[in-house]
Amino acid sequence: KAGVTQTPRYLIKTRGQQVTLSCSPISGHRSVSWYQQTPGQGLQFLFEYFSETQRNKGNFPGRFSGRQFSNSRSEMNVSTLELGDSALYLCASSPGQLREQYFGPGTRLTVT
Amino acid sequence: GQQLNQSPQSMFIQEGEDVSMNCTSSSIFNTWLWYKQDPGEGPVLLIALYKAGELTSNGRLTAQFGITRKDSFLNISASIPSDVGIYFCAGQPLQGAQKLVFGQGTRLTINP
């Protein structure tokens, strides 16, 4: 099976802009989670989607949003970018609840 | 919020040595996962643990789910150069469904 894919791999944006990141889960996986990784805060949970519904949400401001499509692909959007949003954004897919999660390679976002 | 304390933060060892790292929490976790992350890549799942007391091996790697459900350890035997990287523990809290809580990571460096 193909692994989790994320596009784009690298992105440079300017403060105030918005960005959309894409994630395609492993075939058959219906749960998609998003995480932010920074040197200072480590890996932090953003949100999780299952069957097009957000099931869990982390402690991030409303500028961070996501959605999931009927084919389980997911997108994450960050509006009004801030310098502190620079991070590696990771998507993970899972076959079901409370099971292992498999990560994609991540999207490296740099905000200038 | 829930936190995982992972130790040690870094290790400098000789090739061929055994490695041991652990994670502890003040909260109970339902699942423990161990990941390895190389620079610029997403975490790769090494071992998943689902039952208290479970001991699971994956090649030279062995991990255990603590009896109290509040800790886990990972051992690597006979380390080789490709073991270099950052190892993360992650737990799924009982109430958190697919949300993963991560440790701070253990950076492993191997001297040939």
| Alpha-helix runs per DSSP H in B12-97 | none
Residue B97 banded pLDDT, cuts 50, 70, 90:
low
User: Is B95 a residue whose pLDDT tops 80?
Assistant: no
User: Is B98 a residue whose pLDDT tops 80?
Assistant: no
Each residue's pLDDT tens digit, A52-106: 999 889 999 999 999 999 999 999 999 999 999 999 999 999 987 667 899 999 9
Each residue's pLDDT tens digit, A6-23: 999 999 999 999 999 999
User: Mean pLDDT over residues B97-106, rounded?
Assistant: 87
Q: How far is CA B23 from the centre of its chain?
A: 7
Q: Please give the pLDDT value at position A95.
A: 85
- How do strand B55-58 and strand B101-102 relate by DSSP bridges? unpaired
Question: Across the interface, which of A58, A103, A108 has its CB nearest the CB of B43?
Answer: A103
Select from A4, A54, A100 the residue whose CB has the most chain B CBs within 10 Å, as the one to mutate to test that interface: A100
Q: Does A100 touch chain B (CB under 8 A)?
A: yes
d(CA A62, CA B72): 34
Measured over the CA atoms of residue B34, residue B36, residue A1 and residue A5, the dihedral's sign is positive
Half-sphere exposure of residue A74, counting CA atoms within 13 Å on the CB side? Answer: 35
Per the structure block, which two tokens stand in for A53? 């519904």
Q: How far is CA A105 from the centre of its chain?
A: 11
d(CA B92, CA A36): 17
Of residues A27, A59, A86, the one with CA closest to residue B101: A59
Q: Please give the pLDDT value at position A96.
A: 75
